[in-house]
């Protein structure tokens, strides 16, 4: 039975009791010339976003949509050895040779050669270089491993089309985790191949060091385009971590209307309500209907915490708005007739907070009133943004929380 490794990406992994413990993120192999590489095991991502090693000797079944293993899984964080190669992360999109012809690797097939042993036996390739994109290439063919040469060569530009196909169903947070584990060169290739919106979503989920690393490898024009696609608060947080002259140069390349809310956020200290807030919550006038409000919070780009409530203001409805009047909780909206006006169902009993509120004050406010978000109003009574519970968590957790693992135990994989 042949298993194509790119199709394994994201496959659920189940323990002997039938409980899902994670998902496959890569396949670890050892390349040895023309001999089919032996599969050492699988890289499995378990919560909270930690990658561990599952030896192939523990795998008892690879079926449609699932991997089942026996025994116990080692929870120590996976560390790639110098003799190991990641089949998905490092081998897809390589330019190799088959019969003297330059081709690009689309996928690799692994087969069980004997009990509890697997090897990479076949390679799916397509004519043309990695920079052409999958849709512009010739027909795909599958060849034996021994027919291919060039897997050991270091390539300046590997491309990332095949890798992105393997990753296309991942959530932004999972793709960010996958990028974090890749070598710097490979990470840059994948980032360059992502469209602006997808890259913006992924950047928002990356650790600060990776964010800066990815942004620095983009052209200034591309970096500015990606920053425009990010939410203003996340873009402001990233720009605060750059040298001031570099941040200013990037904002100068952005469209003025996209840079304006970021500039407003940058005037506030980082650990205050103003520094944490998003400047683009759902805002409507009091004469808007419940139906209009529900249509706004149903938009895919609106996150669950932002969609938890609609802020009611006097025009204009872009921040900084006219006078803040109150907010309408989405549960209340669901109970009202679609034609009802927001002015009649809004809650005006909660006092908004000011931009200078500290992190602890904002956290206490959210906890006291059991809110997912809180409006932020300036000294003129204008809504300038909203702080969501996930904004607060981002600032309460340690700076390196995206990179930290839980307590590690057990021996290294072998």
- Is the per-residue pLDDT at 412 higher than 50? no
Q: What average pLDDT does range 242-250 have in this prediction? A: 96
Confidence of residue 402 (pLDDT cuts 50, 70, 90): low
Q: What average pLDDT does range 257-285 have in this prediction? A: 94
- φ/ψ region of 163 (left if φ > 0, alpha if ψ in -120 to 50, else beta) reads alpha
pTM over 0.85: no
- State the pLDDT at residue 59: 94
Q: Count Cβ neighbours within 10 Å for each residue of 200-213 and write b for 16 or more, e otherwise.
A: bbbbbbbbeebbbe
Cα distances from 179 to residues 42, 163, 198, 221, 239, in angstroms, run: 17, 11, 13, 22, 21
- Is the per-residue pLDDT at 327 higher than 90? yes
- State the pLDDT at residue 214: 94
Confidence of residue 53 (pLDDT cuts 50, 70, 90): very high
Q: Note the pLDDT tens digit of each residue in 137-150.
A: 568 899 999 999 98
Of 205, 228, 396, 208, whose CA–CA distance to 303 is shortest? 205
- Is the per-residue pLDDT at 87 higher than 60? yes
Instruction: Report, in this order, helix, strand and coil percent for the chain, each rounded to 5.
Output: 35, 30, 35
Q: What percent of the chain has pLDDT over 70?
A: 93
- State the pLDDT at residue 410: 37
- Is the per-residue pLDDT at 135 higher than 90? no
Q: Note the pLDDT tens digit of each residue in 338-366.
A: 999 999 999 999 999 999 999 999 999 99
Confidence of residue 208 (pLDDT cuts 50, 70, 90): confident
Cα distances from 330 to residues 362, 365, 367, 372, 373, in angstroms, run: 21, 19, 18, 11, 12
Distance CA 373, CA 390 (A): 9
Confidence of residue 400 (pLDDT cuts 50, 70, 90): low
Confidence of residue 404 (pLDDT cuts 50, 70, 90): low
Dihedral angle sign, alpha carbons of residues 200, 204, 210, 216:
positive
Of 407, 411, 402, 338, whose CA–CA distance to 176 is shortest? 402
Mean pLDDT of the chain: 90
DSSP secondary structure letter of residue 299 = S
Q: Note the pLDDT tens digit of each residue in 150-200.
A: 887 656 667 788 888 888 888 898 899 888 888 888 888 899 999 999 999
- What phi, psi does 142 have (nearest 5°)? -110, 125
- Is the per-residue pLDDT at 301 higher than 70? yes
What residue ranges define each of the domains in the chain, with the CATH number in brackets? 2-98+105-127 (2.30.30.240), 161-269 (1.25.60.10), 283-396 (3.10.580.10)
- State the pLDDT at residue 123: 96
Q: What average pLDDT does range 95-122 have in this prediction? A: 92
């Amino acid at each position: 039975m042949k298993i194509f490794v790119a199709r394994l990406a994201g496959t659920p992994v189940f323990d002997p009791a039938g409980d899902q413990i994670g998902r496959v993120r890569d396949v670890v192999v050892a390349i040895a010339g023309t001999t089919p590489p032996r599969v050492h095991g699988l890289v499995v991502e378990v919560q909270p976003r930690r990658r561990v090693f599952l030896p192939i000797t523990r795998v008892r079944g690879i079926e449609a949509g699932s991997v089942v293993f026996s025994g116990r899984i080692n929870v120590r964080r996976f560390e790639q050895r110098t003799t190991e190669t990641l089949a998905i992360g490092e081998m897809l999109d390589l330019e190799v040779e088959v019969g003297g012809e330059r081709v690009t690797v689309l996928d690799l097939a692994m087969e069980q050669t004997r009990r509890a042993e697997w090897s990479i036996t076949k390679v799916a390739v397509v004519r043309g270089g990695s920079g052409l994109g999958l849709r512009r290439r010739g027909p795909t063919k599958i060849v034996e491993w021994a027919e291919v040469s060039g897997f050991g060569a270091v390539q300046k530009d590997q491309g990332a089309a095949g890798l992105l196909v393997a990753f296309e169903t991942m959530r932004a947070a999972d793709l960010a985790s996958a990028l974090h584990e890749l070598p710097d060169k490979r990470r840059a290739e994948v980032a360059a191949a992502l469209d602006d919106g997808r890259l913006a979503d992924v950047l928002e989920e990356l650790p600060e060091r990776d964010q800066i690393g990815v942004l620095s490898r983009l052209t200034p024009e591309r970096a500015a385009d990606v920053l425009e696609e990010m939410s203003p608060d996340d873009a402001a947080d990233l720009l605060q971590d750059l040298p001031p002259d570099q941040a200013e140069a990037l904002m100068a390349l952005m469209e003025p209307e996209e840079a304006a809310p970021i500039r407003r956020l940058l005037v506030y200290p980082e650990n205050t309500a103003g520094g944490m807030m998003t400047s683009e919550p759902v805002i409507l006038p009091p004469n808007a209907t419940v139906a209009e409000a529900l249509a706004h919070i149903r938009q895919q780009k609106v996150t669950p915490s932002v969609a938890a409530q609609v802020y009611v203001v006097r025009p204009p409805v872009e921040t900084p708005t006219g006078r803040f009047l109150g907010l309408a909780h989405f549960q209340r909206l669901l109970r009202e007739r679609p034609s009802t006006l927001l002015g009649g169902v809004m809650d005006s009993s909660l006092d908004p907070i000011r931009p200078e509120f500290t992190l602890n004050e904002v956290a206490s406010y959210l906890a006291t009133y059991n809110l997912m978000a809180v409006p932020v109003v300036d000294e003129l009574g204008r809504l300038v943004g909203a702080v969501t519970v996930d904004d607060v968590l981002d600032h309460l957790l340690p700076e390196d929380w995206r990179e930290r693992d839980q307590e590690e135990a057990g021996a290294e994989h072998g």
